[in-house]
Amino acid sequence: MNGVDIPVWIQAFVLGGIALVTLLVPAKILFELTKTSRDRTRRARDLADRLRERFGGVKLDRGFFGPHRIRFTIEGRAAVVTMPDEDELEIRLEPKLAPAFPLVARTRGAFAWPVAFEGFRMLPMLRTFDALIDESIAIYATGAFAGYVREAALDGLPAGEKPRGVAESLFVLRKLPGVRTFELRMSPRGGFRLRFDLRTEDLIHRPDELESAVHHAFQLYDALVSY
């Protein structure tokens, strides 16, 4: 350039640096991906071992792209547990009868959206007019099914007695150890699933608490899907 010859060693140094970067960056990315995959596999295996303490038919299905699925049965009923992320746990029930109506129920924070979407369905938030429920759990449903859910929730709050039925199960899921928030979703196409946003790993390391979560998931299924 401009009559100046660049020494061969400088050219070799620059080309070598480019080649090194070209090789190291993909290698670093690949290492991180495989490390993440190994960590997820280890956590899934550990969880599967804990599930065997409480459930039958535990089987770990390794997902190539998505999270590993742990299939199991409780009293002859099938369910699946996945960990989409380090601080998330999802329980999906696999009953023969699919939900006929869409519903969303989740931990209520300081602000609750007036509507929620389950698939392409927009569901308005229903109010039970009972402060114990309305101030802690946001429930979204529509039509006559919303009226049924309201009545079922209120029936579980008899005066002077402990919550039971739908109300009890929602309260238990909301207050499970280590759970920051929970969300229940059901619909004809989406099935019946629970997702927990975890603050700590109590729900992962304590099989008795996970058993309680699955038990109350099926309790809600029986109350809501059999409508």
Residue 43 lies in a domain: no
Q: How far apart are CA 176 and CA 198, in angstroms?
A: 10
**pLDDT tens digits for 122-133?**
999 999 999 999
pLDDT of 152 strictly over 80: yes
pLDDT of 24 strictly over 70: no
Confidence of residue 1 (pLDDT cuts 50, 70, 90): very low
Q: What is the pLDDT of residue 60?
A: 92
Tell me how many domains the chain contains: 1
Residue 212 lies in a domain: yes
Confidence of residue 31 (pLDDT cuts 50, 70, 90): very low
pLDDT of 29 strictly over 60: no
Six-digit token string for 95: 């009953």
Mean pLDDT value across the chain = 87
What is the percent of the chain with per-residue pLDDT over 90, rounded to a whole number?
Answer: 63
Residue 4 lies in a domain: no
- Look up the domain containing 143 and give its range: 82-225
The C-alpha angle 72, 98, 66, rounded to 5 degrees, equals: 50
**pLDDT tens digits for 54-65?**
999 999 987 666
Q: What would you measure as the largest C-alpha separation in the chain, in angstroms?
A: 97
**pLDDT tens digits for 58-88?**
999 876 667 889 999 998 999 999 998 889 9
Which DSSP symbol is given to 7? P
pLDDT of 185 strictly over 70: yes
pLDDT of 26 strictly over 90: no
Residue 215 lies in a domain: yes
Helix H or strand E segment including 116: strand 115-118
Q: How many CA atoms lie within 13 Å of 59's alpha carbon, on the beta-carbon side?
A: 6
Q: What is the pLDDT of residue 154?
A: 94
Six-digit token string for 158: 């008899």
